Chains A and B, each alone.
Chain A
Amino acid sequence: QKEVEQDPGPLSVPEGAIVSLNCTYSNSAFQYFMWYRQYSRKGPELLMYTYSSGNKEDGRFTAQVDKSSKYISLFIRDSQPSDSATYLCAMSGNLGNGGYNKLIFGAGTRLAVHP
């Protein structure tokens, strides 16, 4: 079983739609949860960074973490063509490798928002 599962898509939605992106994970040691956006031929860009369970909102983006279900989500409201990119979930925690937190990524979901 992969440590982090993410549906690769592609996900195609019309402009203005609400987009829901999700990841599940297996290791309860994860405490920090992130979402990155990666445009083609670019490096990943950090969108949201959250600790433990709960919601965090930033403009059109909302990140949710449900540690009891080992499930995280990113919602994009009023989606725009410029949101078309690959979205990577990532999470970190002390996985017993030593004193540091290991950052593990999902495979990424490709999103296309069409006008």
Chain B
Amino acid sequence: ETGVTQTPRHLVMGMTNKKSLKCEQHLGHNAMYWYKQSAKKPLELMFVYNFKEQTENNSVPSRFSPECPNSSHLFLHLHTLQPEDSALYLCASSLSDVNTEAFFGQGTRLTVV
């Protein structure tokens, strides 16, 4: 248990569905991240939030929409996804976006059908 909790652990959705991934951290951190992990590829940084403000959008398609209501919670809203979006989506947190000693959640395994 790393103090970063992601739900759901697994998600299967159709291309026309709308769903949301949730991340919660209990570490008192101020920065939160979304990463995408596909087979045989490095983790891809998607979004960075620092003190609830987005500091990085790594050219992510608009079908992925992040939301950070406070420093402890992070959401990733999904709509009209493509099969190639199937991957493990990982949430992480760190003390700040300058201190990148990051701790990860267990991830959400997403399958788009």
Chain A interface (Cβ within 8 Å of chain B)? 2, 4, 6, 8, 32, 34, 36, 41-46, 49, 88, 90, 92, 97-108
User: B61 at interface (Cβ–Cβ under 8 A)?
Assistant: no
Taking CB as reference atom, which chain B residue is nearest A88? B43
B56 touches A100 (CB 8 A): yes
B106 within 8 A of A: yes
B106 touches A100 (CB 8 A): no
Minimum C-beta distance from B104 to chain A (A): 4
- List A contacts of B43 (CB < 8 A): 44, 88, 90, 105
Chain A residue numbers with a CB within 8 Å of B50 are 100
Question: B interface, how many residues as a size bin?
Answer: 20 to 34
Binding site for A on B (CB under 8 A): 2, 4, 6, 31, 33, 40-43, 45, 48, 50, 55-56, 90, 96-107, 109
B40 in contact with A43 (CB, 8 Å): no
The minimal Cβ–Cβ distance linking A79 to chain B, given in whole angstroms, is 23
User: Are B90 and A103 in contact, with the CB atoms below 8 A?
Assistant: no
Q: Tell me the nearest residue of chain B to A110, going by C-beta.
A: B40
Q: B55: which of A46, A49, A98, A103 is its contact (CB, 8 Å)? A: A98
Say whether A108 contacts B2, CB under 8 Å. no
Question: In this complex, which of A32, A44, A99, A101 has the most chain B Cβ atoms within 10 angstroms of its Cβ?
Answer: A44
Docked-complex contact A43 and B104, CB < 8 angstroms: yes
In whole angstroms, how far apart are the Cα atoms of A88 and B90 in the complex?
A: 14
